[in-house]
Amino acid sequence: AIVSLGGKFLKVNQALCEMMGYAEKELLASNVESISHVEDLKVDLEHVQRALAGEISHFDLEKRYRHCDGRTVWGWLSVSLVRDAVGNPLYFVSQVQDLTDRKRLEEQLRHSQKMEAIGRLAGGIAHDFNNIISAISTYGGLLEERLPSDDFNRGDNFGCGYFEVNQKRGVR
């Protein structure tokens, strides 16, 4: 896109129109600010001011845009300031590469890594719990052996039969 010093679109290509969901006439009637995500606009404008002040001649940044349907579009913005022969600023040449799919995939990867970590934690807890149950079952069995054979607390009444069966199955 070719953008005026004030941020108005002067020329746009079909790729930008498709990326943002606007017709060419709609973009040409608007400005960069109107399609920029509000939280990213300040950083963008700071770079523009630095370019106009002569501190930098170009800049690149990752930023969010607002698609015409309201969803967020992630883009890699590359901007160069074009000056005349004397050095006066004329306009900006901007290129935006769509990063939306990459950002979505990165988020899916982060989510799957979190789920994997939760699974490992749950597996570790289950293993530790099985160890505790095993100890309880073993000590219960030892206590049961000390009871007389006709004692009410022997067998299923004492609960050791439950632990023996479940010790073999583990915690589920």
More confident residue, 27 or 135: 27
**Over the stretch 79-118, which tens digit does the pLDDT of each residue have?**
999 999 999 999 999 999 999 988 887 778 777 788 888 8
Collapsed DSSP state (helix, strand, coil) of residue 95: strand
Please report the pLDDT score of residue 66 as a whole number: 95
pLDDT digits (tens, 9 = 90+) for 45-59: 999 999 999 999 999
pTM above threshold 0.95: no
